[in-house]
C-alpha cells in the first residue's frame, strides 16, 4: 500500500488527485490538503474583478468532490514539510506521513518587495483579491481617473496583465466613460507581448497594435520602485539595464502582478526550495535531493526563458499545468513500479486571452527558443473559446464519478432556499430577466399552473422564476454525466457558441518566424 499526499486543491492538485486515485490500486491512499475548503478556476479571476463572474460561477466546495472518489481531504494550512523524515506538519496539529509527496500549493504574491504595493494596489491572483478589486473598481467608476495596470520585476504569467487591461477598456466603453480614463500598462518585458518567452514572433506586433487600437499606453523595461497613495514611481531602463527615464504615474485605480514566491509552510522547506521559496525540480518534475517529492504548477521554480534588462518570469497556463500534471502522474506511478520516468522537456506554451468581445490565442513550441512554432491569432472566437473552456473545466472538476449516487436536489434546493429565505424581499423586488436568447418551452397545463402559482405566491415573475429553476435543473442534470458525457457536452456547447457568433470568421492570423 502506498500513500500519496498532495498539498493544494487547485487546478494542479485536484486534477492530479483524480488521475492518481483512478490509476493506483484499491488499497493505495490519496490525501489532499488545502488551506481553503473550495476549488476555484483561477483564470476567471479577472472576470470576477470586472463583475462579469460571481464566486458561485467558478468556486465550489471541493471536499464532497474528493470524497466521492475515495480521496481524503484535510482542510488545513501547511506548517512545515520535513522531507528527511517524510512527514508534513499541518497547522491544525495533524502530522501526515507519506510515501510520495506532490506539492501543488500555487504561489503567493511577493508584494512586500515593493514599498506600498500591497497597501495601495489590487491583485487578482486569488479570488478574494479579485472580489476586493471589484469593490474598489465599482467605487472608481463613480469617480473616474487614471488607471495603471502593472507587473513587478520578476513577475510571471503575464498574459492576464494584458487581458485585464483590455477588459478594463471594454468595460469603460460599455459605461461610456472611456474618454475620461487614461490606461497605462507597466511591464518589465522588453516589448509588449514578450510574455516571458522571448523570440520576436507575431505576438509583438499583434499586442502592440491591440494596445494602440485601444489607446492603452505601455512602459516596457520598467522597474516599479515605490507605490504611494496616488502615484506610482517607475524607473525605465535601456537594453543594457541602465536607467533611461523615471516616471511618476498618477492613478485612481491600479491592479498589479507581483513576483511569485512560495506559500508559507513550503518556503521554509530547506533542501526543497530556492531563495524565493519555490520548489526546485528536475526534468521529471521531482526534487533532485528528495526523489519522492514532486511539484506541479505555480509553486515550481522555473528559470527565466530569456535574459532581459528587467527580470521577467516564465509563463504558465492551465494547458501547461495540465500537461505537466499528466507527466507527474505518469512519473509517480512509474516510480512506484520501478519503471523509467518521462521527461517534461520540451515544454509548450499555450493560452487564451480575453479582450472583452474579442480575444487572442497564443502558441509557442517548444517554450524555450529556438522554436519551431510561434503564432498568435485574434478574433471573437477566442473570447467564446475561453468562456467555453471555463465551463468545460469547472464541469470536469465537479463531475461525479461513474456509479455514484447523485443528490436529487442540489442546485434547485439552493434556488428554493434563497427564494424562501428572502421571501419578503422577493415580493417587493423587481423581477429579474435573463439576458440570453429566448427559448420557447411549452409546459403541460398542470406544471404551468403550478409554476405560475409558485411565482405569484413568492412575488416573482413567472418567466424569471422558470429561467432560474431551469438553469438549476440543467446544472443538476450535468452531474449525472460520465467523462464521455462531459466531453460530448463540451463539443455540443462549442458548436452552439460558434453558430451564435455574429461574425463567423476565424480571426486575424499572425505567424512568427523560426525564432
Summarised one tens digit per residue, pLDDT across range 250-295 is 999 999 999 999 999 999 898 899 999 999 999 999 999 999 999 9
Residue after which a domain boundary falls, among 318, 345, 372: 345
Whether 94 and 150 map to the same domain: the answer is: no
Highest mean pLDDT among 95-109, 417-431, 472-486: 95-109
Per-residue pLDDT for 348 more than 60? no
Q: At what angle do helices 11-23 and 380-398 cross, to 10 degrees?
A: 50
What is the band of 346 on the pLDDT scale with cuts at 50, 70, 90? low
Per-residue pLDDT for 404 more than 90? no
If you ran DSSP here, which 8-state letter would residue 300 be given? B
Which range marks the domain in which residue 18 is found?
Answer: 3-108+261-345
**Does 377 fall in a domain?**
no
What is the band of 370 on the pLDDT scale with cuts at 50, 70, 90? very low
Task: Please give the tally of structural domains in the chain.
Answer: 3
What is the band of 368 on the pLDDT scale with cuts at 50, 70, 90? very low
**Does 373 fall in a domain?**
no
What is the band of 122 on the pLDDT scale with cuts at 50, 70, 90? very high
Q: Which pLDDT belongs to residue 474?
A: 80
Mean pLDDT of 105-112: 94
CB 371 within 8 A of CB 364: yes
Distances (CA, A) of 320 to 113, 352, 366, 383, 419: 28, 12, 12, 19, 42
pLDDT tens for each residue of 82-97:
999 999 999 999 999 9
Mean pLDDT of the chain: 82
Whether 231 and 283 map to the same domain: the answer is: no
Name beta bridge partners: 373. 365
Residue after which a domain boundary falls, among 241, 258, 275: 258
pLDDT tens for each residue of 57-87:
899 999 999 999 999 999 999 999 999 999 9
Strands 108-109 and 260-261, bridge-based pairing: antiparallel
Q: Which pLDDT belongs to residue 199?
A: 64
| Residue 403 in grid coordinates | 456509479
CB 390 within 8 A of CB 396: no
Mean pLDDT of 227-245: 96
Q: Which pLDDT belongs to residue 481?
A: 73
Per-residue pLDDT for 366 more than 60? no
Q: Which pLDDT belongs to residue 132?
A: 97
Q: Which pLDDT belongs to residue 381?
A: 45
Q: 13-44 burial, b for 16+ CB within 10 Å, e for fewer?
A: bbbbbbbbbeebeeeebbbbbbbbebbbbbbb
SS3 245: strand
The Cα–Cα gap between 34 and 77 comes to 6
Whether 39 and 116 map to the same domain: the answer is: no
Domain containing 266 — which CATH number? 3.50.50.100
**Does 504 fall in a domain?**
no
Whether 7 and 63 map to the same domain: the answer is: yes
Per-residue pLDDT for 375 more than 80? no
**Does 28 fall in a domain?**
yes
Q: Which pLDDT belongs to residue 380?
A: 53
| Residue 106 in grid coordinates | 500555487
Whether 80 and 19 map to the same domain: the answer is: yes
Q: Which of 45-54, 66-75, 137-146, 230-239 has the lowest mean pLDDT?
A: 45-54
Q: Which pLDDT belongs to residue 328?
A: 95
Per-residue pLDDT for 129 more than 60? yes
Q: Which pLDDT belongs to residue 408?
A: 47
The Cα–Cα gap between 102 and 328 comes to 9
Mean pLDDT of 119-129: 95
pLDDT tens for each residue of 177-228:
999 999 999 999 999 988 887 666 556 777 888 899 899 999 999 999 999 9
Whether 230 and 115 map to the same domain: the answer is: yes
**Does 168 fall in a domain?**
yes
Domain containing 222 — which CATH number? 3.50.50.60
Q: 176-189 burial, b for 16+ CB within 10 Å, e for fewer?
A: eebeebbbbbbbbb
Whether 129 and 144 map to the same domain: the answer is: yes
Q: Which of 31-45, 166-180, 320-334, 422-436 has the lowest mean pLDDT?
A: 422-436
Residue after which a domain boundary falls, among 258, 273, 300: 258
Amino acid at each position: 500500500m502506498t500513500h500519496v499526499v498532495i498539498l493544494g486543491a487547485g487546478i494542479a492538485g485536484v486534477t492530479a488527485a483524480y488521475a492518481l486515485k483512478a490509476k493506483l490500486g484499491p488499497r493505495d491512499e490519496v490525501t489532499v490538503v488545502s488551506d481553503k475548503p473550495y476549488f476555484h478556476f483561477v483564470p476567471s479571476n479577472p472576470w470576477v474583478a470586472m463583475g462579469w463572474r460571481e464566486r458561485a460561477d467558478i468556486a465550489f466546495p471541493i471536499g464532497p468532490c474528493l470524497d466521492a472518489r475515495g480521496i481524503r481531504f484535510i482542510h488545513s494550512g501547511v506548517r512545515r514539510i520535513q522531507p528527511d523524515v517524510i512527514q508534513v506538519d499541518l497547522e491544525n496539529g495533524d502530522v501526515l506521513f507519506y510515501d510520495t509527496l506532490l506539492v501543488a500549493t500555487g504561489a503567493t504574491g511577493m508584494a512586500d518587495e515593493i514599498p506600498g504595493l500591497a497597501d495601495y494596489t489590487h491583485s487578482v491572483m486569488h479570488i478574494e483579491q479579485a472580489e476586493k478589486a471589484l469593490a474598489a473598481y465599482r467605487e472608481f467608476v463613480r469617480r473616474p481617473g487614471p488607471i495603471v495596470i502593472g507587473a513587478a520585476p520578476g513577475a510571471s504569467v503575464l498574459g492576464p496583465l494584458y487581458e485585464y487591461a483590455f477588459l478594463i477598456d471594454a468595460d469603460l466603453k460599455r459605461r461610456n466613460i472611456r474618454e475620461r480614463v487614461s490606461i497605462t500598462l507597466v511591464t518589465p518585458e522588453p516589448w509588449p507581448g514578450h510574455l516571458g518567452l522571448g523570440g520576436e514572433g507575431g505576438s509583438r506586433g499583434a499586442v502592440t497594435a491591440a494596445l494602440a487600437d485601444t489607446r492603452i499606453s505601455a512602459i516596457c523595461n520598467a522597474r516599479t520602485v515605490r507605490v504611494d497613495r496616488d502615484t506610482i514611481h517607475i524607473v525605465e531602463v535601456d537594453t543594457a539595464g541602465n536607467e533611461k527615464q523615471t516616471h511618476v504615474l498618477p492613478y485612481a485605480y491600479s491592479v498589479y502582478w507581483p513576483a511569485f514566491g512560495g506559500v508559507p509552510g513550503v518556503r521554509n522547506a530547506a533542501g526543497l526550495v530556492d531563495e524565493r521559496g519555490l520548489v526546485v525540480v528536475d526534468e521529471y518534475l521531482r526534487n533532485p535531493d528528495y526523489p519522492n517529492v514532486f511539484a506541479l504548477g505555480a509553486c515550481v521554480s522555473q528559470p527565466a526563458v530569456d535574459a532581459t534588462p528587467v527580470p521577467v518570469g516564465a509563463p504558465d497556463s492551465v494547458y501547461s499545468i495540465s500537461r505537466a500534471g499528466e507527466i507527474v502522474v505518469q512519473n509517480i506511478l512509474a516510480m512506484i513500479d520501478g519503471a523509467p520516468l518521462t521527461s517534461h522537456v520540451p515544454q509548450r506554451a499555450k493560452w487564451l486571452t480575453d479582450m472583452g468581445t474579442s480575444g487572442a490565442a497564443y502558441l509557442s513550441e517548444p517554450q524555450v527558443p529556438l522554436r519551431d512554432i510561434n503564432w498568435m491569432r485574434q478574433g471573437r472566437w477566442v473570447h467564446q473559446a475561453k468562456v467555453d473552456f471555463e465551463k468545460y473545466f469547472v464541469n470536469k472538476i465537479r463531475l461525479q464519478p461513474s456509479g455514484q449516487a447523485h443528490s436529487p436536489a442540489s442546485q434547485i434546493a439552493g434556488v428554493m432556499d434563497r427564494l424562501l429565505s428572502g421571501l419578503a424581499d422577493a415580493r417587493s423586488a423587481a423581477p429579474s430577466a435573463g439576458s440570453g436568447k429566448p427559448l420557447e418551452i411549452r409546459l403541460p397545463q398542470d406544471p404551468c399552473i403550478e409554476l405560475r402559482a409558485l411565482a405569484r405566491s413568492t412575488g416573482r415573475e413567472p418567466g424569471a422564476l422558470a429561467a432560474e429553476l431551469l438553469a438549476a435543473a440543467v446544472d443538476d442534470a450535468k452531474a449525472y454525466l460520465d467523462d464521455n458525457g462531459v466531453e460530448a457536452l463540451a463539443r455540443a456547447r462549442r458548436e452552439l457558441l460558434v453558430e451564435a457568433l455574429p461574425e463567423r470568421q476565424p480571426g486575424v492570423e499572425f505567424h512568427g518566424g523560426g525564432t
